[in-house]
Structure 1
Amino acid sequence: MPIRQSDLLNSSVNRSFAGQSRPRVGQLTAFLSHSHQDALLALGLQEMLKKAGWDVYIDWQDTTMPATPDGETAFNIKVAIVRADWFLFLATQNSMASRWCPWEIGFADGKKAHDRIAIIPTADNQGNFYGNEYLNLYSSIDVAQHASGLALFDTRGNGTWVHNL
């Protein structure tokens, strides 16, 4: 079941404002591929995953990134993708139309273990669903039915609570 974008927005509004910190030893890390037009959705997902014990990298929170995207930006993104334990793709109308997001998932596909790439499908308020283009290729992180919390589902539909990964 896709994550409702309204739930991500609510999580963004209710997020803790603790500053960026370095990941703790043993803490899972993830690179979040998303459209910058979906900044609030990205913050909401970051907060949800933070509550599950993850540290999520968002490029525009990185003070070492150039102000205007260029070759250095691409290099820094490559390094961040390789360094993270997971690659996550926040599927929205904006990310599907982005020039950067498909490039990022293509790069991750060549560098990360297949089971370390996950799609986060979303549904907007009009009932439009995003992420189905990739769901048969990669695992997905969704809201678990009949429970509250995020779960990782492999391509066969087997689920594991995100906080147990």
Structure 2
Amino acid sequence: MALAQSELQQASQRQPLWKYRPHTGRQRTAFLCHSHKDSVLAEGLQVLLAEQGVELYIDWKDATMPERPNRETAERIQLRIKTCDWVLFLATGNSMSSRWCPWELGYADGMKQLDRIAIVPTLDAVTTHGNEYLHLYRRVDLSAAGELLWVPPNSNQGQYVRSIPFL
């Protein structure tokens, strides 16, 4: 089931309840591939993931990134994709028409194991975005209890994001 964009917007308004995994010394991380036009949705996803014990990297929140995209931007994004545990693609109308998002997803596809890449399909008032990727990658869904699920391609069964083991 796709995440309603309205739920992501609501989540962006609250403070994350940071939940760390006490038996490990490290926070799980994910790189977010998204359109900057969807900043509120990205922040909502960041809150939902933080509540599941995952730190979400959002490039425009990184003060070390260049002001304008250039070669250094691409190199830093490549490094983040390599070093984060997962890569998530926030599928919206804006990201589907972005120039950077297909490049980031393609780079991740070549650098990460496929089970470390997931689509976050979203539902707006008109349509569901990201369906064309769902047969290629895992997806992030919202359970009936409001927890994020990590679901394999072509499946309706997943595991809670909070319980996914580290690499």
Seq. identity, %: 49
**Matched residue type, 1:137:** L
Structure 1 stretches of at least 4 aligned residues deviating more than 4 Å after TM superposition? none
Aligned residue number for residue 145 of structure 2: 147
How many matched pairs?
Answer: 158
Aligned residue number for residue 135 of structure 2: 136
Query: Are the aligned partners of 1:3 and 1:121 in contact in 2 as well (CA < 8 Å)?
Result: yes
Quote the Cα distance in structure 2 between the aligned partners of 1:156 and 1:97. Answer: 24
What runs of 5+ residues in structure 2 fail to find an aligned partner? Answer: 19-23
Query: Are the aligned partners of 2:11 and 2:44 in contact in 1 as well (CA < 8 Å)?
Result: yes
Shift of 1:26: 2.8
Aligned residue number for residue 81 of structure 2: 81
Normalised to the residue count of structure 2, the TM-score between the two structures is 0.91
Shift of 1:155: 1.1
Matches for 1:1-165 after TM superposition, within 5 Å: 1-16=1-16, 25-126=25-126, 128-144=127-143, 146-157=144-155, 158-165=157-164
Aligned-residue RMSD, C-alpha: 1.5
The residue matched to 2:118 in structure 1 has which SS? strand
What runs of 5+ residues in structure 1 fail to find an aligned partner? Answer: 19-23
Shift of 1:28: 1.0
Change (3 A) 1:147 1:16: closer
Query: Are the aligned partners of 1:15 and 1:44 in contact in 2 as well (CA < 8 Å)?
Result: no
Quote the Cα distance in structure 2 between the aligned partners of 1:113 and 1:17. Answer: 29
Quote the Cα distance in structure 1 between the aligned partners of 2:112 and 2:68. Answer: 27
Aligned residue number for residue 21 of structure 1: none
Quote the Cα distance in structure 2 between the aligned partners of 1:131 and 1:25. Answer: 34
Query: Are the aligned partners of 2:49 and 2:55 in contact in 1 as well (CA < 8 Å)?
Result: yes
**Matched residue type, 1:132:** N
Quote the Cα distance in structure 1 between the aligned partners of 2:85 and 2:109. Answer: 13
The residue matched to 2:134 in structure 1 has which SS? coil
